[in-house]
Structure 1
Amino acid sequence: MTAVMAGLIGVGGSLCGVLLSTFLGSRAERRKLAETDARRWLEDRRRVYADFLLLSQSMSRQIEIAALNLPYDDSKSEDEDARAIRVDQVYEYYGRWDDELQVILAEIMLVGGADVADMASRVSDALMDLGGFAEVGGYFVDFYPKKHRTDDLIGLLRNTMRGDLGNHEGIGARPTGDAEWPWPSSIPDEIEYVRRQTEIPHRPELTRRESERLLSAGLDPRIIHPSHSPNENE
């Protein structure tokens, strides 16, 4: 009886070991598959988000080019040739909106987060609104506020996409009216680089254009080299 019990315990232990190993192996395999699916899902989102964002920005620039054919304000009337060019450009824009943008938007509706899907739909409609304004005609002074507003919406979409991909640090769009863009404040303006020419030893005199630029900035255009002694020419 003792031998039988010992045998049964041994068999049971072996069976439990096999079952435990199978369970742990199956769980590890499921975890691996889940991680692979999550990584593939994230890659799909990143791809479709980037595609939609790039296309939205491209179409915003495209419709602005078409709108440049509009008269600036009511002080001028639209030229007939400019109108024909504008209409052709708008119809090409509509083609991209329908054949390209809507295809990617449909993908976002399948794989995108709820907030991203909502913002992408808003951007799509805003771009169509821009096209409608440029098609009907009007004045550029009425178009550009719509254009800037749409660009800000695209910027909001970009940050929503970044958050959905795990990067919650938002980035700003180009500040409207920033005369120094794209240069950060740590980089000198162009006048400073002209002024530095006056510090180059043995450099010929500044050209008239260079001198005029320095004078307009309130700077002395005369060359005073560091290696030049005040008594050198005496």
Structure 2
Amino acid sequence: MAAAATGAVKLLGHKMSLFVTRVEIALNLKKVGYEFVQVEVHGQKSEILVKSNPVYKKIPVLIHQGKPICESAIIVEYIDEMWTSEPPILPSHHFDRAVARFWTTYIDDKLLSLLKALAFGAAEGSSKAETVDRVAEVLQLLEEAFAECSHGKDYFGGDTIGYVDIALGSCLRWMKTVEEIKNVRLLDEKKVPLLVDWAERFLQDKAVKEVTPEIDEFRQYAKMILASAR
């Protein structure tokens, strides 16, 4: 995409990274033009990545007016504060902002770690079943959080996609991929009907569809990662 009028914007990332997808969704919501720079994340890291994020050497990195910003959650907040046009990503009320940050941290700490364990670490049998049960518990709490945060509207953020929507929504394709490769059901409409309906709305949003790879791409990428992990 073209550079934004407020200063050159570059995003260092990899198209299959859900953390990068979070940043792209935020940029799309704010209609910020940017240049996407695909970087090597497997094996030897790209020089531009090491230079831009010398501490963690991880994606995503947003470079705005020559200055790098790292960590997806921090970048999304930066985008919301830097480009104040509608729609807002974080709530305006301080308490609601704190709640949104809490659930975003919960998603990263609990849901993502369990999905990773299920895909790469959980063995067949009871260990796999226990992990699936733990994912179900996490999703049930997020179902309840959605009911509370959405106030009967379409998204965690209310009428429009917000901070928690971006955090959880970026996991949806990977969750579907894990369901397929492990032959399990995670996002079950009988258990979390609100989240199932929300997920469909989220993935159909234009700002999301433009930057979210198709499920076939995730399948192929997951097969490659699993093969290299053996």
Greater share of helix: 1
Q: TM-score, normalised on structure 2?
A: 0.30
Q: TM-score, normalised on structure 1?
A: 0.30
Greater share of strand: 2
Structure with the greater alpha carbon radius of gyration: 1
